[in-house]
Amino acid sequence: MSGVSEKYMYRCIDLALLGKGFVAPNPMVGAVLVHGDRIIGEGWHRVYGGPHAEVDCINSVADADRALIPQSVLYVSLEPCAHYGKTPPCSDLIIRNRIPVVVIGCRDPFAQVDGKGIEKLQKAGIEVICGMLEGKCIALNQRFFTFHLKQRPYIILKWAQTADGYMAGTETDRLLISNSLTNRIVHRWRSEEAAILVGSRTAELDDPALTNRYAAGNSPVRMVLDRQLKLPASLKLFNREQRTIVLNNLVEREETGLSYYRLKPAPGIVEQIAEACCQLQLTSLIVEGGSTLLQQFIKQGIWDEARIITNEQLVIGKGLKAPQLTDAWLESEEKSLSDRIRCYRPAEQKQNRP
């Protein structure tokens, strides 16, 4: 069909991003309904369990414009669903509203959808155009695609280091590396992910809350690797203000705000953590330390981003060395007062950039 325009798919992507931090484990999706060259409806998936983008879009059409729906083009960043989940199939809603043309950014990798929504629309006589800004629409939902295609969460490695490459000093007192502005950026990162993980040594020495206190959005599920259950119950991780999952080798049980997930007493801890996240429907994970745990993810090549904060004014001379990235490329960097924040990607991703 002539007359379709990428500018409306860009608008879908912008709308979808409004759901960031609120819709996981669902994907972020935006939708725009266009009559001629005028947008008559738009919407996005706002919250997990709530109406999907297509529903929000169609519901937004003013009464005066509703007669135009059967003469309009629907743009949506991800393939409309064709199954009953927490909401009815969006493909059925599109068919009922007699929308003649649907432009889709990319197919949905979720097995219950993957191509079925497109097929259902086509069988109803609707013209379907798929693949508009496909790379950008896939990149929008890297977490969702990684979860369904690789059967693991999207994994972000994050640490702060001194100018001379140390994560901690030689004393037991916690070394404050990042400045207050950077800390607010870190809390925004937390609001965008499903879970956050630390090792037992970091939990005991730093006693972190691992919550989002400075940004809009949710706090991630807290995870701690404590194989022998030796951590004291007085730690902030166990205050039950936010759900905590204890990865261990001894027990599996549920308590209010606290879950014990039993790992196998075998090598492959990184793979087991990834498998646990899949079973718990946690589509993304920030690994915040310590150095040994971070290095294990790097060694196994199981990571998608590394966000490294370097305080360029802090030199301590000795202490605990920060992890060393291998086979990585620098995607971006920004300055945050005394800190420099660099984002790295695995080398294999560079050739697949959208």
Surface-to-core class of residue 70, CB atoms within 10 Å of its CB (0-12 exposed, 13-18 middle, 19+ buried): exposed
Surface-to-core class of residue 320, CB atoms within 10 Å of its CB (0-12 exposed, 13-18 middle, 19+ buried): middle
Q: Is there a binding annotation on residue 81?
A: yes
Q: Is there a binding annotation on residue 202?
A: yes
Per DSSP, 5 falls in state -
Helices (H), the chain: 6-16, 53-59, 90-96, 116-123, 134-140, 142-149, 180-191, 200-206, 269-279, 291-300, 347-350
Q: Is there a binding annotation on residue 252?
A: no
Per-residue tokens: 273: 């953590």
CB of 153 within 8 A of CB of 283?
A: yes
CB of 134 within 8 A of CB of 106?
A: yes
Q: Is there a binding annotation on residue 107?
A: no
Q: Is there a binding annotation on residue 146?
A: no
The residue to which tokens 């690994």 are assigned = 287
CB of 33 within 8 A of CB of 72?
A: yes
Greatest Cα pair distance in the chain: 72
- Residues annotated catalytic, as ranges: 54
Q: Is there a binding annotation on residue 57?
A: no
Q: Is there a binding annotation on residue 90?
A: yes
Q: Is there a binding annotation on residue 206?
A: yes
Q: Is there a binding annotation on residue 45?
A: no
Q: Is there a binding annotation on residue 347?
A: no
Q: Which residues are annotated as a binding site for NADP(+)?
A: 160, 202
Residues contributing to the annotated binding site for substrate: 190, 206, 210, 213, 288
Indicate the annotated binding residues for Zn(2+).
52, 81, 90
Point out the annotated binding site.
Answer: 52, 81, 90, 160, 190, 202, 206, 210, 213, 288
